[in-house]
């Protein structure tokens, strides 16, 4: 029977790794970049939300929904050289609003970067007439409008119900949230009473550090205004959150802090199921609670905090399914794994480390019988179908990273654990010791699988340091500088590596116990103390800011000091070149280039000179 389970486990693992590799490979193919289009749309249409930006069949489409009111606006664009053709369609908008909303499009052909991006996404139309192209644009704009529009009448008051991918995704997250709450209530007895005080202490410590950490954006991109299909999972989650809470940075910062704290007991439960050593689970949870870089990232707007919590929750749900055979537990686990896979472009690969961690906890004794149940087949088919659709949408929106950046064990290359400026050496040494403990069979099969999951959790080459040129005494000198924002890609691997810290501390205390010949008093407290001492030297990371974050704070503070009626003029028409003022901070900002070309009418204009304006005209020294 054991051999049969092992064979089934190997087959399931191989199949899921293959699915993950295909999904990840599909999600990282890039045909064009719609980021510039999205940014320009957000800036030029401040009264609208950008619900979707897609590039399909050589035509770029943008769907807008009013921030206040109902209706929708769809735009189809095709660029060739300096020529830009458009088609605009609206639903639920009067003629005056339709004309006013369409006006910014008349100047888009003058924006060089935007025109170049649109041309890269547009298919050559040499074999088609102008009429054919106009018809194709009109059809694309019509297709971009909400998938279905039902007008219902009740007492003479008609209203419209719009179904969009973002709305469907928001509904999915709403149902998933309910499932998580129900699962937590039904699993409340999975933690013994004697372990609750220690977990409460660790959770309180985690919350303290995350509240102390200086909150700020994790990227130079407007992460909280992501509403396009190219990152559908995160866009849908934001849509659900901001439908009930204020759309501001503090909302996401607070939610990430809370979810980051909840991940601490989740990691403990996952490790306790897989490793007989209770001390290893306590130390692993402590590492997640106090690792400075993780605490700092929890006070930001990055999707990875929610992603990792969903990943750990999926494993906990799998464990419940193994023990009880509950279809509800299996459905919840697949739902959480789907959420984790769709929150980031490289997310589909998470099925691989998730499977490794899940198998480290064992498989059901009656696995073959469960595989034959109709409920199992339905749940798995839904899981594969939903993720296949989302990956297809992502491909249609030119989503993902470069295929050349794929590395199976990307966690090993430029990891924050190996950089002393982001991780104390003692804490990094505990990770290495934990990996060695797993390799030398102290924790056997579970240790090997956990280590493998940590190594393959990041499938991209994204080192946290980079070679760069900086000005020194009037010359540009090539130096190696840290890229703190890039470290966010390593967060899922760091979460799993916290488990390796637990294995390392467990090994240390086990050796001490053997040396003194008796149980170590208050071993759990000693384990937590070792982790806290190891993490303490880099506590300054809680407040250290990189340049875009400093500029973000400076810009937000400056907005409070100017008249609300004044219009802000700054550099907006660029992408991925340092901090560009986020459009939601000050709707209606004007790009400096457009302002100089055609100065608008107004009484008060305030110019913001961003850090990107300070480029030095120097030749790098070789």
Percent of the chain with pLDDT over 70: 84
Alpha helix (H) residue ranges in 229-303: 232-242, 249-274, 278-290, 292-298
- pLDDT tens figures, 420-475: 888 899 999 999 999 999 888 677 888 999 999 999 998 888 888 777 777 777 77
pLDDT band at 399 (very low <50, low <70, confident <90, very high): very low
Q: Retrieve residue 487's tokens.
A: 């470290």
Least confident of 105-114, 125-134, 401-410, 433-442: 125-134
Looking up tokens 């070792």 gives 530
Determine the pLDDT at residue 576.
54
Which residues, 6+ apart, have CB-to-CB distance to 252 below 8 Å?
A: 223, 224, 238, 241, 301
Q: Per residue, what are the HEC states of 13-66?
A: HHHHHHHHHHHHHHHCCCCCCCHHHHHHHHHHCCCEEEEEEEEECCEEEEEEEE
- pLDDT tens figures, 498-534: 999 999 999 999 888 888 888 788 888 999 999 999 9
Please give the Cα distance from 336 to 592 (Å, whole number). Answer: 44
Average pLDDT score over the chain? 80
* Mean pLDDT along residues 30-58: 78
Determine the pLDDT at residue 527.
93
Which is it for strands 567-570 and 590-591: parallel, antiparallel or unpaired? parallel
Burial 395-423 (b: 16+ CB within 10 A, else e): bbbbbbbeeeebeeebbeebbbbbbeebb
Cβ count within 10 A of residue 614: 9
Phi, psi of 162 (to 5 degrees): -105, 130
pLDDT band at 38 (very low <50, low <70, confident <90, very high): confident
Q: Strands of 72-80's sheet, edge to edge?
A: 48-56, 59-66, 72-80, 83-91
Please give the Cα distance from 180 to 174 (Å, whole number). Answer: 10
Determine the pLDDT at residue 531.
95
Q: What contacts 24+ positions apart, CB below 8 Å, involve 157-162? A: 159/70, 160/70, 160/91, 160/92, 162/65, 162/72
Better-scored residue on pLDDT, 475 or 319: 319
Please give the Cα distance from 456 to 349 (Å, whole number). Answer: 9
Determine the pLDDT at residue 128.
53
Note whether 200 and 284 are within 8 A (CB): no
Which residues, 6+ apart, have CB-to-CB distance to 529 below 8 Å?
A: none
pLDDT at residue 618 tops 70: no
Instruction: Say whether 325 sits in a helix, a strand or coil.
Output: coil
């Amino acid at each position: 029977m054991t051999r049969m389970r092992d064979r089934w486990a190997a087959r399931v693992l191989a199949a899921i790794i293959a699915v993950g590799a295909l999904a990840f490979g599909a999600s990282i193919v890039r045909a064009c970049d719609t980021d510039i289009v999205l940014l320009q749309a957000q800036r030029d249409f401040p009264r609208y939300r950008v619900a979707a930006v897609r590039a399909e069949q050589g035509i770029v489409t943008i769907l807008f929904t009013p921030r206040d009111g109902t209706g929708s606006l769809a735009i189809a664009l095709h660029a060739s050289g300096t020529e830009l053709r458009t088609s605009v369609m609206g639903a639920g908008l009067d003629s005056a609003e339709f004309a006013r909303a369409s006006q910014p499009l008349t100047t888009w052909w003058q924006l060089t970067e935007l025109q170049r991006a649109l041309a890269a996404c547009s298919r050559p139309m040499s074999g088609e007439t102008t009429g054919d192209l106009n018809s194709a644009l009109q059809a694309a704009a019509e297709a971009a409008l909400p998938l279905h529009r039902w007008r219902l009448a009740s007492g003479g008051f008609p209203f419209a119900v719009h179904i969009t991918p973002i709305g469907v995704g928001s509904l999915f997250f709403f149902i998933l949230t309910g499932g998580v709450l129900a699962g937590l209530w039904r699993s409340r007895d999975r933690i013994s009473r004697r372990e609750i005080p220690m977990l409460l202490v660790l959770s309180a410590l985690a919350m303290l550090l995350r509240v102390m950490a200086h909150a700020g954006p994790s990227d130079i991109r407007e992460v909280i205004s992501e509403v396009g299909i190219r990152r559908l999972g995160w866009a849908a989650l934001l849509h659900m959150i901001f439908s009930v809470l204020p759309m501001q940075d503090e909302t996401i910062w607070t939610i990430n802090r809370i979810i980051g704290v909840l991940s601490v007991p989740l990691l403990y439960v996952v490790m306790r199921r897989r490793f007989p050593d209770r001390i290893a689970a306590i130390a692993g949870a402590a590492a997640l609670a106090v690792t400075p870089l993780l605490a700092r990232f929890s006070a930001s707007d990055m999707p990875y905090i929610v992603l990792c919590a969903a990943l750990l929750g999926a494993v906990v749900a799998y464990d419940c399914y193994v023990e009880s055979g509950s279809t509800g537990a299996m459905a919840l686990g697949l739902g959480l794994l789907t959420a984790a896979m769709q929150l980031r472009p490289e997310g589909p690969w998470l099925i691989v480390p998730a499977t490794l961690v899940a198998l480290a906890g064992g498989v059901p004794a009656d696995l073959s019988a469960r595989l034959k149940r109709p409920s199992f087949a339905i749940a798995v088919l839904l899981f594969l179908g939903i993720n296949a659709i989302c990956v297809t949408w992502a491909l249609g929106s030119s989503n993902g990273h470069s295929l050349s950046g794929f590395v199976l064990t990307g966690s090993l290359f430029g990891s924050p654990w190996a950089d002393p400026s982001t991780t104390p050496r003692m804490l990094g040494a505990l990770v290495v010791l934990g990996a060695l403990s797993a390799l030398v069979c102290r924790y056997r099969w579970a240790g090997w699988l956990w280590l493998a999951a940590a190594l393959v959790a990041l499938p991209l080459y994204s080192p946290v340091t980079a070679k760069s040129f900086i000005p020194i005494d009037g010359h540009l000198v090539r130096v190696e500088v840290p890229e703190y924002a890039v470290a966010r890609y390593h967060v899922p691997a760091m979460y799993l590596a916290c488990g390796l810290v637990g294995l390392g501390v467990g090994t240390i205390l086990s050796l001490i116990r053997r040396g003194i010949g008796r149980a170590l008093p208050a071993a759990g407290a000693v384990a937590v103390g070792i982790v806290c001492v190891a993490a303490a030297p880099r506590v300054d990371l809680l407040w250290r800011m990189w340049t875009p974050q400093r500029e973000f704070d400076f810009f937000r503070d400056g907005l409070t000091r100017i008249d609300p009626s004044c219009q802000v003029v700054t550099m907006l028409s660029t992408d991925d070149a340092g901090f560009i003022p986020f459009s939601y901070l000050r709707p209606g900002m004007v790009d400096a280039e457009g302002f100089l070309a055609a100065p608008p009418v107004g009484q008060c204009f305030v110019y913001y000179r961003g850090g990107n304006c300070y480029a030095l005209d120097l030749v790098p020294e070789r």
